[in-house]
């Protein structure tokens, strides 16, 4: 068990206050702080002392990962744990499947595209299913909305230009309709997209200011949320067709402790808030808009799943560890994540044949190993527990207890 120093990522959409306030560092920070990476991704590995976790694992994969995990995942840590602070909307994006990532990575390697080239789509040959758990109220666009609901929204919106495109689709064929409408919108020439965005913005403003404009039917509450979000995106990214494409997605507001799970090919864009995110150990992102980074619409469309996603909210079940907690139910094997709210003196026992990372998000907890070593975790700090540590027990200190997240395989 050792303290794991995270890699800080300073993307423009990050927050100057969320991570700083959580960790008790100077707030506001001098630049936006977007993510803290706790893991062994070669692009930005966490460190123990002065060494990267990826190098430490490579020295002795069996001791670090255990036989089961080392054999199954080719001697690599299969997950990446993050603290994510969205002070502004993230890009409209999706991630590839394992097969798509392997193919894309090999193709770009063969083409000689440097790994750090901003045009590079595939940074590694891995998929990137992900789970986000809210620590504060967290807003997110996630998955295509069932087309029947989207059709109601667009009918109420009443944009003549937009209706030209929606009239081309067959509502009885949901997946085909979503594919046709999204692909058409995201591929529009600049002049046509600017006209469409301007008209849709004007219609949305009119409806929010005077709901009776909606043919006397009024605007449903969920539509108010979606249209408000659309206007915010259109203002933040002028002329970006991604704002219009976002009208096709589910819009969620998560309260602390609630979570979303997104598999390969599911379009999403986190909007605001602080959360704990865990994903397969990958940095592959295909973007379609709402960003100044590289956008590759054809490749994004190639990896997207166009079936409607009714709700990506993750379910939970009782967690192991000798403490009251909840494990998020996930349909894959690369990672597990459990959340524990420990009262003063309550304990969480970490016992596994594989590796674990224990992240503290509130309060204080002291970890004690089988040989008597101790490590204190405070908010924003994490412990690396290799498979060779037979048993580590974390005890909440102080009247406020502690909130801990346990990431494992």
Residue of 23, 120, 203, 287 marked catalytic: 287
What distances in angstroms separate CA 57 from CA 249, 283, 387, one per listed residue? 40, 19, 11
Whole-angstrom Cα Rg for the chain: 22
- Residue (of 360, 340, 361, 336) closest to 349 by Cα position: 340
Q: How far apart are CA 185 and CA 304, in angstroms?
A: 15
Residue 275 DSSP label: E
Cis ω for the linkage preceding 28 (within 30 of 0):
yes
Q: How far apart are CA 306 and CA 356, in angstroms?
A: 35
Sequence-ordered strand ranges (E) for 135-219 = 138-144
287 flagged as catalytic? yes
Long-range interactions of 168-176: CB distance < 8 A, separation 24+ = 171/147, 174/146, 174/147, 174/148, 174/307, 174/308, 175/306, 175/307, 175/308, 176/306
Cα dihedral across residues 172, 202, 251, 407: positive or negative: positive
Write out the catalytic residue numbers.
287
């Amino acid at each position: 068990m050792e303290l794991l120093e995270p890699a800080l990522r300073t993307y423009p959409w990050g927050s100057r206050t969320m991570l700083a306030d959580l960790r008790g560092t100077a707030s506001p920070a001098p630049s936006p702080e977007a993510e803290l990476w706790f893991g062994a991704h070669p692009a930005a590995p966490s460190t123990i002392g002065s060494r990267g976790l990826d190098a430490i694992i490579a020295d002795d994969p069996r001791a670090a990962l255990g036989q089961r995990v080392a054999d199954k995942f080719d001697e690599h840590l299969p997950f990446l744990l993050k603290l994510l602070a969205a002070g502004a909307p993230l890009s409209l994006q999706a991630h590839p499947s394992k097969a798509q990532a392997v193919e894309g990575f090999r193709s770009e390697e063969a083409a000689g595209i440097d790994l750090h080239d901003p045009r590079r789509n595939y940074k590694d040959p891995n998929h990137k299913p992900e789970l986000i758990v809210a620590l504060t109220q967290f807003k997110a666009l996630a998955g295509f909305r069932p087309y029947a609901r989207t059709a109601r929204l667009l009918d109420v919106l009443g944009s003549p230009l937009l209706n030209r495109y929606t009239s081309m689709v067959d509502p009885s064929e949901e997946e085909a309709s979503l594919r046709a409408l999204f692909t058409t919108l995201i591929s529009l020439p600049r002049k046509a997209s600017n006209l469409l965005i301007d008209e849709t913005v004007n219609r949305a403003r009119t409806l929010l200011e005077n709901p009776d404009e909606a043919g006397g039917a009024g605007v449903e509450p969920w539509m108010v949320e979606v249209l408000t979000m659309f206007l915010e995106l259109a203002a933040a990214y002028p002329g970006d067709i991604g704002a219009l494409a976002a009208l096709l997605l589910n819009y969620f507001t998560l309260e602390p402790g609630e979570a979303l799970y997104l598999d390969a090919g599911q379009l999403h864009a986190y909007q605001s808030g602080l959360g704990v995110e865990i994903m397969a150990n990958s940095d592959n992102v295909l973007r379609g808009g709402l960003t100044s980074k590289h956008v590759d619409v054809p490749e994004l469309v190639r990896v997207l799943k166009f079936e409607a996603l009714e709700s990506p909210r993750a379910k939970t079940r009782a967690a192991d560890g000798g403490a009251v907690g909840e494990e998020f139910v996930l349909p894959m094997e690369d990672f597990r994540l459990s959340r524990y709210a420990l009262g003063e003196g309550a304990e969480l026992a970490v016992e596994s044949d594989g590796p674990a990372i224990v992240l503290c998000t509130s309060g204080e907890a002291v970890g004690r190993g089988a040989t008597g070593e101790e490590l204190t975790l405070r908010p924003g700090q994490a412990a690396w527990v290799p498979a060779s540590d037979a048993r580590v027990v974390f005890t909440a200190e102080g009247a406020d207890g502690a909130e801990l997240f346990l990431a494992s395989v």
